Amino acid sequence: MVAGKAEKSGTPLPENHRRHMRLRLDCAILNMFYGFADEAKTPIDSARGVYVPTDTKKRIWKGSWLYDDSHIQICVRNPRSILAVWHVRQDGRYGRPSQEAEAGEAV
């Protein structure tokens, strides 16, 4: 489907370069589907993608379905979908530092 559209328009498909984490083909395909949804008057406000490595050496322990590099990517296309933002401190805790901490005192 994507290759056919690109071929008809004379537009070359971009390539992914995983070594440098430049996933231009992935981005182009997702943007194409977002465009289809926009044209159909059913816009997509946000999307998520799950990445699970296939290298069994990255499993957290033998036989586990949990992997060291597993993660979820989120794409928010409509800023009104963002309900809140949390500040993450350098020590990993959430919330803004108190005024005492900003003044240099321990929290």
pLDDT digits 0-9 by tens, 58-85: 888 888 888 888 889 899 999 999 998 8
Higher pLDDT, 20 or 93: 93
DSSP assignment of 7-65 equals: HHHTPPPP-EEGGGTEEHHHHHHHHHHHHHHHHTT----EEEEEE----GGGBSSTT-S
Contact yes or no for 52/67 (Cβ under 8 A) = yes
What whole-number distance in Å separates Cα of residue 53 and Cα of residue 18? 13
